[in-house]
Chain A
Amino acid sequence: MLSDSADMEVSVWRGAGVAGQFENFKVPAQENQTILDVVAWIQQNCDPTLSYRYACRVGMCGSCAMMVNGVPRWTCRTHVKVALQGNRISIGPLRNLPVIKDLATDMDPFFDKWISAEGVHHPTRSRDDAIEQIDPEDHARRQANEGIECINCSVCYAACDTVAGSADYLGPAALQRAWTLFNDARDAGRVSILEAVSGKGGCHNCHSQGSCSQYCPNDLNPMAAIAGLKRETALSFFKRRT
Chain B
Amino acid sequence: MLTVRLYMLQRITALLMAPLVLGHLAVMIYAIQSGISAAEILGRTQGSIAWFLFYGGFVVAVSVHAAIGLRVVVHETFGLRNTLLDLFTWAVAAGLFLLGGRAVMAVTLS
Contacts of B72 in A (CB 8 A): 205
Asked whether any CB of chain A lies closer than 8 Å to the CB of B8, the reply is: yes
Summarize B's interface: helix, strand, loop or mixed. helix
Whether A204 pairs with B75 at a CB distance below 8 angstroms is no
What interface size band does chain B fall in?
A: 10 to 19
Residue with the highest number of chain A CB atoms closer than 10 Å, among B6, B7, B72: B7
What interface size band does chain A fall in?
A: 10 to 19
Whether A200 pairs with B1 at a CB distance below 8 angstroms is yes
Whether B2 pairs with A165 at a CB distance below 8 angstroms is no
Mask: chain B, 1-40; 1 = CB below 8 Å from A; 0 = not: 1111111100100000000000000000000000000000
Whether A237 pairs with B75 at a CB distance below 8 angstroms is no
Asked whether any CB of chain B lies closer than 8 Å to the CB of A199, the reply is: yes
A234-B8, A237-B8 given as contacts; is B3 within 8 A of A198 (CB)?
Answer: yes
Asked whether any CB of chain B lies closer than 8 Å to the CB of A202, the reply is: yes
Whether B76 pairs with A204 at a CB distance below 8 angstroms is no
Asked whether any CB of chain B lies closer than 8 Å to the CB of A168, the reply is: yes
- Least Cβ–Cβ distance between A66 and chain B, in angstroms: 25
- Least Cβ–Cβ distance between A97 and chain B, in angstroms: 18
| A233: contacting residue among B4, B6, B77, CB under 8 A | B4
The docked-state distance in angstroms from the alpha carbon of A201 to that of B6 is 12
Interface residues of B, Cβ cutoff 8 Å to A: 1-8, 11, 72, 75-77
27 contacts between A and B (CB under 8 A): A165-B75, A165-B76, A166-B75, A166-B76, A168-B1, A198-B3, A198-B4, A199-B3, A200-B1, A201-B1, A202-B2, A202-B3, A202-B4, A204-B2, A204-B4, A204-B7, A205-B1, A205-B2, A205-B72, A230-B7, A233-B7, A234-B4, A234-B7, A234-B11, A237-B4, A237-B5, A237-B8
Interface residues of A, Cβ cutoff 8 Å to B: 162, 165-166, 168, 198-202, 204-205, 230, 233-234, 237
